[in-house]
Homo-oligomer: A and B are copies of this chain.
Amino acid sequence: MVKEKRLQHILKLLQNREMVTYDLLAGELSVSEDTIRRDIETLHNNGLLSKIRGGAMLRSENPLSFQERTTYLQGGKDVIALKAQQLIKNGQTIFMDGGSTICAIAGRLPLNSVLKVITNNQAVVQILSRIPEIEIIILGGNYDRDTATSSGTQAIYEAGKYVADLYFMGTCAIHHAFGITASLQTEGELKQAMIKSSLKTVALSNGEKLDSIEYFKVCDFSGIDVLVTDLASGDPKLNNYRAQGFQLL
- Using a CB–CB cutoff of 8 Å, the interface residues on chain A facing chain B are 2-5, 7-8, 11, 19, 42-43, 46, 48, 50, 52-55, 57, 61-64, 66-67, 122, 125-126, 129, 135-143, 145, 150, 154-155, 158, 161
Contacts and interface: CB of A to CB of B under 8 A. Distances in A.
A161 B158 CA distance: 13
Contacts of A48: 63
30 contacts: A2-B19, A2-B52, A2-B53, A2-B54, A2-B55, A3-B53, A4-B19, A4-B57, A4-B61, A4-B63, A4-B64, A8-B61, A8-B63, A43-B63, A46-B63, A67-B126, A122-B122, A136-B143, A137-B154, A138-B140, A138-B141, A138-B142, A138-B143, A139-B140, A140-B140, A140-B150, A140-B154, A140-B155, A154-B158, A154-B161
Interface of chain A, helix or strand or loop or mixed? mixed
B67 A42 contact: no
Pairs of residues from A and B, 7 with the lowest C-beta to C-beta distance, nearest first: A140-B140, A136-B143, A138-B140, A138-B150, A139-B140, A4-B52, A66-B126
Contacts of A11: 63
A63 B11 CA distance: 8
Nearest to A49: B63
A142 to B, nearest CB: 6
Nearest to A52: B4
Contacts of A53: 2-3
Number of copies of this chain in the oligomer? 2
Given A2-B54, A19-B2, A64-B42, A142 B137 contact: yes
Nearest to A123: B66
Contact of A140 (B4, B145, B158): B158
A54 B154 CA distance: 43
Contacts of A142: 135-138
Contacts of A145: 129, 136
A137 to B, nearest CB: 6
